[in-house]
């Protein structure tokens, strides 16, 4: 009975069942696998009307590019978005979790979510796991109190800044921001500066690459410009491509199973007899 209970949908949170077995495997000389990381350049800046967030789109697994066009700007609330760097599973899980908590909070209070709420939820979760949940985030949004931009580190510390960069490409992006940022940028100037900072990360940092994603958040409106810039098109594209003739591959056995189309049984309602 206890074994069945362990497989039934659990109550949430982490399960440490396999830790002992994994320790044993480590001792026997097997190395732990590398997890998919988002090498990343993520940036945010505050402009005259709100906040602009930017991110590159490369996901790496060790030295290999696992995803050439992944989404690093995660939805938290209609007026709050969060860019994530670090272990991909951690950034996705933590932003999804806080997004759900914010939604429940909106239902309970009947008000628009505040950026500081998201910030507190994120930092308390990350601190309680003492940095083992490896998520470095740039959180930005516009609420009733104005535009806000914060950075959250894996151990749970936060900063509130007018412009911020995180990830392996953060130095490249920060160089651009430090030389060109000023208060009160217009929307177009802000988007151009964010794109420039991300491109700086894409071209100079090996862990970042592919395209530029931008998200512009203003009072009452959010624009998610997915693949705003594509500075890395495929270089060698053969127009002919590979053409394998039918029957080229040697097949040992074939089994074809027709799929029965599922038909909805019309509910026949018999009139009740009086």
Partner 1 sequence: MSIFEYNGSALVAMVGKNCFAIASDRRLGVNLQTVATDFQRIFKIHDKLYIGLSGLATDAQTMYQRLVFRHKLYQLREERDMKPQTFASLVSALLYEKRFGPYFCQPVIAGLGDDDVPFICTMDCLGAKELAKDFVVSGTASESLYGACESMYKPNMEPEELFETISQALLSSVDRDCLSGWGGHVLLVTPTEVQERTLKGRMD
Q: Does 9 bind partner 1 (CB under 8 A)?
A: yes
Q: Does 265 bind partner 1 (CB under 8 A)?
A: no
Q: Among 1, 3, 29, 183, which residue sits at the site for partner 1 (rule: CB under 8 A)? A: 29
Q: What is the CA radius of gyration of the chain?
A: 24
Longest dimension (CA), the chain: 86
The helix-helix angle for 88-109 and 115-128 (nearest 10°) equals 130
Nearer to partner 1, 104 or 144 (CB): 104
Query: How far from the centroid of its chain's Cα atoms is residue 180's Cα?
Result: 27
57 in catalytic set? no
Phi-psi region of 94 (alpha: psi -120 to 50; beta: other; left: phi over 0): alpha
Instruction: State which of positions 41-100 bind partner 1 (CB under 8 A).
Output: 59, 61, 64-67, 70, 87-90, 92-93
Q: Does 31 bind partner 1 (CB under 8 A)?
A: yes
Integer Cα distance of 114 and 142 in angstroms: 8
Q: How many CB atoms lie within 10 A of CB 23?
A: 10
Q: Give me the half-sphere count of Cα atoms (radius 13 Å) on the Cβ side of residue 160.
A: 7
Nearer to partner 1, 14 or 107 (CB): 14
State the number of binding residues for partner 1 (CB under 8 A): 55
Q: Among 133, 152, 202, 212, which residue sits at the site for partner 1 (rule: CB under 8 A)? A: 133
Active site residues: 40
Interface ranges with partner 1 (CB under 8 A): 7, 9-10, 13-22, 25, 29-33, 35-36, 59, 61, 64-67, 70, 87-90, 92-93, 132-133, 238, 241-242, 244-246, 248-259, 261
């Amino acid at each position: 009975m206890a074994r069945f209970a362990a497989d039934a949908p659990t109550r949430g949170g982490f399960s440490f069942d396999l830790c002992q077995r994994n320790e044993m495997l480590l001792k026997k000389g097997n190395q732990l696998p590398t997890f998919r990381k988002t090498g990343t350049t993520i940036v945010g800046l505050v402009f005259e009307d709100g906040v602009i967030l930017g991110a590159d789109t490369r996901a790496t697994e060790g030295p290999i590019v696992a995803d050439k066009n992944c989404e690093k700007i995660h939805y938290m609330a209609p007026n709050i978005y969060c860019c994530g760097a670090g272990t991909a599973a951690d950034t996705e899980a933590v932003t999804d979790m806080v997004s759900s908590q914010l939604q429940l909070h909106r239902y309970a209070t009947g008000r628009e979510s505040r950026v500081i709420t998201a910030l507190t939820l994120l930092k308390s979760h990350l601190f309680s796991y003492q940095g083992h949940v490896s998520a470095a985030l740039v959180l930005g949004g516009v609420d009733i109190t104005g535009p806000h931009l914060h950075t959250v580190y894996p151990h749970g510390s936060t900063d509130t800044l007018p412009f911020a960069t995180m990830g392996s490409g953060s130095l490249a992006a920060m160089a651009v921001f430090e030389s060109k940022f000023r208060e009160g940028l217009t929307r177009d100037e802000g988007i151009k500066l964010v794109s420039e900072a991300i491109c700086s990360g894409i071209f100079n940092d090996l862990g970042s690459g592919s395209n530029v994603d931008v998200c512009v958040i203003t009072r009452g409106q959010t624009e998610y410009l997915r693949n705003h810039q594509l500075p890395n098109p495929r270089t060698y594209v053969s127009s002919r491509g590979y053409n394998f003739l039918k029957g080229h591959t040697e097949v040992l056995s074939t089994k074809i199973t027709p799929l029965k189309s599922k038909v909805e049984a019309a509910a026949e309602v018999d009139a009740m007899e009086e």
